[in-house]
Amino acid sequence: MSSFPLSRRPSMGALSGVLYVLFFVAGLVIAGIVAPSGPLATPYSSDEVLRDYLLADPSALHRSLRLRALFQTLSALGLLAFVPWLTDYVGRHGTSAQAGVVRAAGTVAGALLMLSAGASWTLSMVGSSADLVVSRTVMDLAFITGAAPAVGALGLALWQVSSTARASRTLPVWIAWSGLVLAAVSVLSLLSLVAEPATLLIPVGRFGGFAWITAVSVVLWRRGGAR
């Protein structure tokens, strides 16, 4: 086994997983409150719906997108801060290869969320003044980076952590098994890249993953981070 040393004393750093969840959810709620009323545009919306979304209330849309970008960036930073704790756990109770996968997959997921936040901020700048094709392209970029690829990458990390937990019995059994299920759903959400119905798996993997990461974050914090 390989070790990735972190302090074993109780550390608030282990709660960064909770911050990842709180900032993301706060962003959804706050951005939703200030968003313009009317139809919500998605990458699958028609040009007419997208145009109505952009022109309904440009100033409200601007504020909503900027707030979403802010909180999503903070959420991504929380995830990136939590990845070393997951890596350390797997390094202590699993293999160096598994720990490497956790570190790489978790970092990719955090980076994709930050890229999605940047695209949302860009959309707030171009707003209703941009050509419809430009707006749709930026919106698609924000969606594709923050949805299935980010969820799928994090699912790969969840699989390694849960597999390690199941084999070593160092986390509650319900965390290990639920993590394996959520990891499978998260990775399968990548099918949404070729089949629209599979987009239903994205919120299952994301919000189920929120609950799982919150639980693991609290457990690692109570155990001093790595035990």
Q: Quick one: pLDDT at residue 126?
A: 81
Domains of the chain by residue range? 13-222
Enter the pTM of the model.
Answer: 0.90
How sure is the predictor about 182, in pLDDT bands with cuts at 50, 70 and 90? very high
pLDDT at position 198 is 94
The answer on pLDDT for 130 being more than 70 is no
- Long-range contact set of residues 134-142: C-beta below 8 Å, sequence gap at least 24: 135/50, 135/54, 136/43, 136/47, 136/50, 139/41, 139/43, 139/50, 140/43, 141/115, 141/116, 142/116
The predicted pLDDT at position 129 comes to 62
Give 56's pLDDT tier (boundaries 50, 70, 90): confident
